[in-house]
Amino acid sequence: MLNLSVLLDDSARRYPAKKAFTFMDTSLTYAQVNEAANKVANGLRAKGILPGDKVALGCLNLPAFPIIYFGILKAGAVVVPLSVLLKKDEIEYHLTNSEAKAYFCFTGTPELPMGEIGYAGYKAVATCEHFFMIMPAANMPSPIEGVETLGSLMNDQAPSFETYQSKADDTALIIYTSGTTGRPKGAELSHSNLLVNAIISSDLMDSNTEDVLLIVLPLFHIFGMTVLMNAGIYKGSTNILLPRFDAETVYGLMQRHSVTIFAGVPTMYWGLLNYTNPKFDYEKIANTLKICVSGGASLPVNVIENFEKRFNVPIIEGYGMSEGSPVVTFNQLKLGRKAGSIGKPVWGVEVKLVDSDGVEVPVGEKGELLYRGHNVMKGYYKNPSETEKILKDGWLYSGDIGIKDEEGFFFIVDRTKDMIIRGGFNVYPREIEEVMIKHEAVSLVAVIGIPHEEMGEEVKAFVVLKEGQTIADIDLINWIKERVAAYKYPRYIEFLTALPMSATGKILKKELRK
């Protein structure tokens, strides 16, 4: 028997009075977080949520996230994390596809009215029975009349709960990942997938109880969730929460809390390097930082060198996928590092590169990266056809092209997918193209990624308009912006009279990239 919530239960038992999460001026101990999670579990049980039921969670990096996350798990239910940037139609799709019975959603801000958008998506899904608004304070009423809050769910509930005894291979999480075709797919990750990955992540960072982790990577994303939140709780570390990256705020928190571990995506390191303010004691920050982690996309070698020189701290890069819980390979301090590489397979994971016939390629030659081990997902939820495409004989076919050098270090050199990595977030062109083609003026569209100094890649769309139709690029951008998450919409649009096509009518994106 194994329930991922053992991470929190164990640290609450070992370090009850230790600070677990700090957000702004509020800190909660491990005992307090655990008791709050127990109240959530009791509240869910009282609402009729049963083991195996799906419960969606859309929340910024706030203490409410781990409290609800572990409350759902304790009740034996399955967590369905949703991006805080999703729009109504996207929320409706995710709730429907995951068969969510309940949905916790942060109320948001005037700039990001998550609660309003989330409630509208929820109302469109007849099978989702409960909606709980997460308010900034427990006693605050919901801004939407008649809507329950997290506070009202927890009110009068007991602070103890007998955790449901899940099996190790029961599904703990359904995390959505867009494919190159069609709608997002829900990767089913088991309790053991996530537990082993959290343990491995803490080993990679050589973390301990005294560490202070700064979590600015979104907790609804598998990287922030596993490598930081779950790994930090496993070790009983203190976790500083920051909902949105801002270089000045990051430096302020590093200095104030003597942060020892920072993890980010390349755009964050780029932002930190390009910000200097005499009010910060960079020497003090450097003296307390012991390791930095980067993922999501390849970190430019000059950024690694400049950051490590400035702060005298190693940045370890790795490779992962939602389908891999997420960590697959990493530059490991004990095994040596190589700038620009994704390192070597982590403990218990096998990696190989194969050609189009599935035959392993020699050292130094390109091949598709395959992996197998404890980290591989169970499959895509309710999607056997897509599962069969990616999982074969226990191996997961990543769709990424890599090479392996003589020393066993892996490097990603290309993608078989057209995926764009914008600021660490995956953007899938097909999904954006399917939205854009619905505009009455658009006849044909092709979306690609173009190099961008800060974001790594930026989204660009090439559009052919219908005969007799006209529209300004900014008007089309604004139209798309209303329909997809903020990180997905194209920042650049170029109008063409025709798209380059192959003899079979396939759009030649490589011609557009020239």
Instruction: Specify the CATH number for the domain of residue 447.
Output: 3.30.300.30
Residue 261 tokens read as 């571990």
Helices (H) and strands (E) in the chain, counts: 17, 27
Q: Residue 170: inside a domain, yes or no?
A: yes
Q: Residue 273: inside a domain, yes or no?
A: no
Question: Using alpha carbons only, how large is the chain's radius of gyration in Å?
Answer: 23
User: What's the half-sphere exposure (Cβ side, CA atoms, 13 Å) at 132?
Assistant: 27
CA 46, CA 153: separation in Å to the nearest integer? Answer: 9
CA 423, CA 200: separation in Å to the nearest integer? Answer: 25
Last residue of a domain, one of 190, 210, 228: 190
Contact 260, 240 (CB under 8 A): no
CA 240, CA 262: separation in Å to the nearest integer? Answer: 10
Last residue of a domain, one of 143, 170, 190: 190
Range of the domain at 27: 20-190
Task: Determine which helix (DSSP H) or strand (DSSP E) holds 401, and give its type and residue range.
Answer: strand 395-404
Residue 80 tokens read as 């369905």
Last residue of a domain, one of 173, 190, 207: 190
Q: Of how many residues is the chain composed?
A: 514
With tokens 């109320």, the residue in question is 107
Give the residues across from 371 on adjacent strands: 351, 396
Give the residues across from 392 on adjacent strands: 395
Q: Residue 15: inside a domain, yes or no?
A: no
Q: Residue 68: inside a domain, yes or no?
A: yes
- Please state the φ and ψ torsions of residue 272, each to the nearest 5 degrees: -70, -40
Residue 191 CA, distance from chain mean position: 17
CA 408, CA 205: separation in Å to the nearest integer? Answer: 21
Among 321, 374, 327, which residue's Cα sits nearest to residue 205? Answer: 327
Task: Determine which helix (DSSP H) or strand (DSSP E) holds 327, and give its type and residue range.
Answer: strand 327-330
Among 166, 219, 185, which residue's Cα sits nearest to residue 51? Answer: 166
The interaxial angle of helices 301-311 and 266-273, nearest 10 deg, is 50
Instruction: Specify the CATH number for the domain of residue 133.
Output: 3.40.50.12780
Q: Residue 216: inside a domain, yes or no?
A: no
Among 37, 26, 105, which residue's Cα sits nearest to residue 67? Answer: 37
* Digit-coded pLDDT (tens) for 337-361: 998 899 999 999 999 999 989 999 9
Long-range contact pairs involving 306-312 (C-beta distance under 8 Å, separation at least 24): 306/273, 307/269, 307/272, 307/273, 310/273, 310/282, 310/286, 311/282, 311/285, 311/286, 312/286
Residue 87 tokens read as 């729009």
What is the total count of domains within the chain? 2
The tens place of each residue's pLDDT in the chain, 514 residues long, gives 999 999 999 999 999 999 999 999 999 999 999 999 999 999 999 999 999 999 999 999 999 999 999 999 999 999 999 999 899 999 999 999 999 999 999 999 988 899 999 999 999 999 999 999 999 998 999 999 999 999 999 999 999 999 999 999 999 999 998 654 568 999 999 999 999 999 999 999 999 999 999 999 999 999 999 999 999 999 999 999 999 999 999 999 999 999 999 999 888 998 899 899 999 999 999 999 999 999 877 787 888 999 999 999 999 999 999 999 999 999 999 999 998 899 999 999 999 999 989 999 999 998 999 999 999 999 999 999 999 999 999 999 999 889 999 999 999 876 666 778 899 887 878 789 879 988 999 988 999 999 998 999 999 999 999 989 999 999 999 999 999 999 999 999 999 998 887 554 567 887 898 7
Strand positions, DSSP E, 15-82: 19-23, 26-29, 54-58, 78-81
Q: Residue 366: inside a domain, yes or no?
A: no
DSSP string spanning 468-502? Answer: T----HHHHHHHHHTTS-TTTS-SEEEE-SS--B-
Q: Residue 252: inside a domain, yes or no?
A: no
DSSP 243: S
The 3-class SS string of 169-231 reads CCEEEEEEECCCCCCCEEEEEEHHHHHHHHHHHHHHCCCCCCCEEEECCCCCCHHHHHHHHHH
Contact 329, 410 (CB under 8 A): yes
Q: Rounded to 10 degrees, what is the CA torsion of 11, 13, 14, 18?
A: 70
Contact 256, 360 (CB under 8 A): no
Q: Residue 448: inside a domain, yes or no?
A: yes
